[in-house]
Amino acid sequence: MAHRSGFVALFGPPNSGKSTLLNALVGAKVAITSPVPQTTRTPLRGILTLPDAQVVFVDTPGLHRPRHKLGEHMVRGARKVLEEVDLALLVLDASRTPGEEAEAAAEAAGRVRVPLLVALNKQDLATEESLQTWRRWLQDRLRPEEVLTISALRGEGLDRLVDSLVQRIPEGPPYFSPEDLTDQPLQALVREIIREKVLELTREEIPHAVAVELEEFRKAPDRDVTYIRATLHVERPSQKKILVGSGGRVVREIGRRARPEIEAWVGGSVYLDLWVKVSEDWRRKDGFLRRLYPQG
């Protein structure tokens, strides 16, 4: 049997479960997840290696109507991915009904020049009526090659989904080593883990106003510890006050939650030094966005 390998874009509205799906498919946490919409800010890859195939999934920021330069940057990155893959998988939240965000995703899907499949995610939360509503909407708007119902969180329907994808990617050798789960640099993974813990602890207060920048990442010469210094950028002094917390309680808890996951990726002990800085209106500044979220 010929070996197959290819790139598959995961795209769709914010909070449809793309990152949860990526982690479930790869079998490891390579993308942060959060109930907060637009958690994913840059495209990232997760690699699934099978005996006769390798599927490189590219998770993209949620497609939405941008309200600032960060949003424009995210949507631009997602659309660029759709021009460079072998297959496109539109992920939709089946527990909701089609709305403005789904229309934005459909608009992007209508322009893809590769085979299009749809995963109706969160089937465990959806009714049969909502599933039928989505199927009719898809038939009217897109007519994809195949529509599959799945639950990324519960792992339901994923084997069939993978089979459908593998059948449609081209023949060819693998792009990555079988041991690889992602091509993200270690520093990028660390930065995202820290941001995930910020989202867990602050939720409504500052989710989109925080960015994490690694200032230092080095192995201490005198002991087996990796020293990591990171700056958490926010836009307002009031947000800094929330993120630091009374007596530094919140920022310490961010570090406490992030450290075990970072140590698992680093492969040893970590000293995590977190600072909070006000960088006014950073989401509207092109230079800041290019520095923190380069798109190549």
pLDDT tens figures, 74-103 = 555 556 667 778 999 999 999 998 888 888
Q: Give CA–CA dist 68/62, Å, rounded.
A: 14
pLDDT at residue 232 tops 80: yes
pLDDT at residue 67 tops 60: no
Q: Give CA–CA dist 187/189, Å, rounded.
A: 5
Beta strands in the chain (DSSP E): 4-11, 44-50, 53-59, 87-93, 116-121, 146-149, 211-219, 225-234, 269-278
pLDDT at residue 204 in the model: 64
Query: How many other C-beta atoms are found inside a 10 Å radius of the C-beta of residue 68?
Result: 14
**pLDDT 10s digits, 149-188:** 999 999 999 999 999 999 999 999 999 999 998 888 888 8
**pLDDT 10s digits, 267-286:** 899 999 999 999 988 878 77
pLDDT at residue 68 tops 50: no
Question: 54-68, 79-93, 240-254 — which is least confidently predicted?
Answer: 54-68
Q: Is the pTM of this model over 0.85?
A: no
The answer to whether 54 touches 5, Cβ cutoff 8 Å, is yes
Q: Give CA–CA dist 73/75, Å, rounded.
A: 6
- What is the three-class DSSP state of 205? coil
pLDDT at residue 64 in the model: 41
Residue 147: name the closest of 136, 158, 135, 157 by CA: 135
